[in-house]
Structure 1
């Protein structure tokens, strides 16, 4: 359902692309795809992207590469968003039919108890719950410390290991959080789901390509829907050895710090997309930052992101060929790497506009490390 137009005096109107973004995002977050098991997400992306691109391929890693061509002499720009989500693998099936888990990606043990999860077997998805000791049975020691992930178990209703096997469960099956896309409050324009990191980026790339359905882009756009980002940028590392481009960008979520338990915010929901300056994986190229800032100037606010505790596909994309100017666009996301991530739809819509603007200035953009007048 598209976001309803706001009528409160002085409040922002429904952002551009809202309906398209929500349609894509709603479908993408329904899929279960922890790192290395992105099959269902790949299928959803392929269905959506094939009508929008001149060429679509899936490489050996599972990366989906969708190319929308400009004139032969035009520059080439790679933009990557990752399909994988944090999650688990089934490590053990106990004699009583419970499942032990191995974490995949950066999960916080404190938030894992009493969560609903999907177990993606070869043929189906099974609903399970990460079990928790009843409040009536807790000891003082229980209340004082989180349960380590190695002690977690998933209850799928099986009475024995044999029953779990009959349901199709095998060691190594992927496990992901249960969730769907929902708006918080009423007409807030802020949405929650698991795996917004980075299915929201994937939805934005699809929306970007929608804009070139009937018109040729100013540069050749190579949209990469990558895999295994959450476990070390592995999908794009492989891709970086084969794809040639003049510029590369990552589009990803970043950690908002505008909630009450934190100090003065660096990144806030509703304050516009963020232009990355640095993180743990890359220092954004100054020419790319200049181009992004020029694309946003006078149109909408942007934030500057400096965040050590994060990495994106940009960290691998910067090594394309012999190395290319690389940067990233981020969207602030609350409760990142949890089942209740939260973003502002306006930030995501403006991220699409920022990418469109950057592509429009890219043909004439000076890509040297030093400014053109130096």
Structure 2
């Protein structure tokens, strides 16, 4: 991974931006995209896309990551200064206990730890029982509600995990928070960089949606705005390779993901064939993926009269926790693949895809 890409993803993954709190990150992304285009569209929920106008008679191609990450929102402050919180996005409760989190306030981040009872104080029945998120709290070191409020904490503020961007001893593996889905945001930016000097056979809308983690909300409104002919979601999916099972879907280092099924979308046959043919032609490494969770494509493909859609992803270990790991070779494969897919999408290719539904 090039140094400039590493620096981009360090900035993106360390940025606090849970669902509903995407405004500042959107500004950062728009600034990056403005190097490559002067035209932008934004829906009323906040999804943002830069536009590259190639052949106006060609298809409208929509490519989107999503700005938001899973996190929490302050839902209360106790008399003892403890912070209760509401999950934003899907969390398994046992990944939250004893984790460092930050409340993002106008005065800056306020660090804390999710309180957990030491094993010495638990009886046998408690040790074997999962802890409900509703009974958890964030300890920021305050002794009272007033002291917590003096730190700048108020109900409704976002809370994010703490995890620095960390290349591991194997430098092709990088640990960070929010690979789901700063991967897609960064790739949308680099896609625009790759293509902005070319005369495309289409009109490209590349950017990122909001509130994906709360039910693909920004995807619906963005699709209504753009009314695309074809859509590519850029998203990180859960790796399942930790035990060494070669039959498991989602293996780090085995290439980009071609998602063929999830609960929200059975991938259009013409799209699967287009991705397969493009990858084979250019010798791009990819792997098939079946998922139990959905992406923005689940909303976009049902918009209008139907939008052929595909997910060009990478797998990431431990998504929807405070720290996740990706492989840089997978990112390189996904970047080459989405670039070639967009570059080849003229009106004839779109018609072929539609005919092969």
| TM-score after normalising by structure 2 | 0.94
What CA distance in whole angstroms lies between the structure 2 residues aligned with 1:263 and 1:221? 37
Match of 1:228 among 211, 214, 218: 211
* Structure 1: stretches of 5+ with no match in the other structure: 1-14
Q: Contact 2:183/2:234 (CA < 8 Å) preserved in 1? A: no
1:130 equivalenced with 2:114 (yes/no): yes
Count residues in correspondence: 354
2:81 equivalent in structure 1: 97
> Residues 153-211 of structure 1, C-alpha deviation per residue, up to 9 Å, x if partnerless?
11111111011111111111111111221112243x01111110000111111111111
- CA 1:354–1:128 in structure 2 vs 1: closer, same or farther (change >3 Å)? same
Post-superposition shift, 1:369? 4.1
Match of 2:200 among 217, 221, 230: 217
> Residues 189-248 of structure 1, C-alpha deviation per residue, up to 9 Å, x if partnerless?
011111100001111111111112333333221013111001100011112222122211
1:274 equivalenced with 2:257 (yes/no): yes
2:225 aligned counterpart, secondary structure: coil
2:178 equivalent in structure 1: 195
1:250 equivalent in structure 2: 233
Match of 2:140 among 123, 145, 156: 156
1:30 equivalenced with 2:4 (yes/no): no
Post-superposition shift, 1:19? 2.9
Report matched runs for 1:58-207 at 5 Å.
58-187=42-171, 189-207=172-190
What CA distance in whole angstroms lies between the structure 1 residues aligned with 2:290 and 2:352? 22
* RMSD (Å) for aligned C-alpha atoms: 1.9
2:270 aligned counterpart, secondary structure: helix
**After the TM superposition, which parts of structure 1 deviate over 4 Å for at least 4 consecutive aligned residues?**
none
1:224 aligned counterpart, secondary structure: strand
Q: Contact 1:27/1:44 (CA < 8 Å) preserved in 2? A: no
- CA 1:370–1:212 in structure 2 vs 1: closer, same or farther (change >3 Å)? closer
* Structure 2: stretches of 5+ with no match in the other structure: none
Post-superposition shift, 1:69? 1.4
1:241 aligned counterpart, secondary structure: helix
1:7 equivalent in structure 2: none
What CA distance in whole angstroms lies between the structure 1 residues aligned with 2:94 and 2:334? 32
What CA distance in whole angstroms lies between the structure 2 residues aligned with 1:57 and 1:180? 32
2:197 aligned counterpart, secondary structure: coil
- CA 1:243–1:233 in structure 2 vs 1: closer, same or farther (change >3 Å)? same
2:191 equivalent in structure 1: 208
Q: Contact 1:79/1:251 (CA < 8 Å) preserved in 2? A: yes
1:240 aligned counterpart, secondary structure: helix
- CA 1:62–1:96 in structure 2 vs 1: closer, same or farther (change >3 Å)? same
2:318 equivalent in structure 1: 335
Larger mean Cα displacement after TM superposition, 276-285 or 225-234 = 276-285
2:134 aligned counterpart, secondary structure: helix
Q: Contact 1:26/1:181 (CA < 8 Å) preserved in 2? A: yes
What CA distance in whole angstroms lies between the structure 1 residues aligned with 2:84 and 2:288? 41
What CA distance in whole angstroms lies between the structure 2 residues aligned with 1:116 and 1:178? 6
| TM-score after normalising by structure 1 | 0.90
Larger mean Cα displacement after TM superposition, 111-120 or 18-27 = 18-27
Q: Contact 2:274/2:353 (CA < 8 Å) preserved in 1? A: no
- CA 1:275–1:112 in structure 2 vs 1: closer, same or farther (change >3 Å)? same
Q: Contact 2:119/2:127 (CA < 8 Å) preserved in 1? A: no
Larger mean Cα displacement after TM superposition, 26-35 or 127-136 = 127-136
Post-superposition shift, 1:146? 2.5
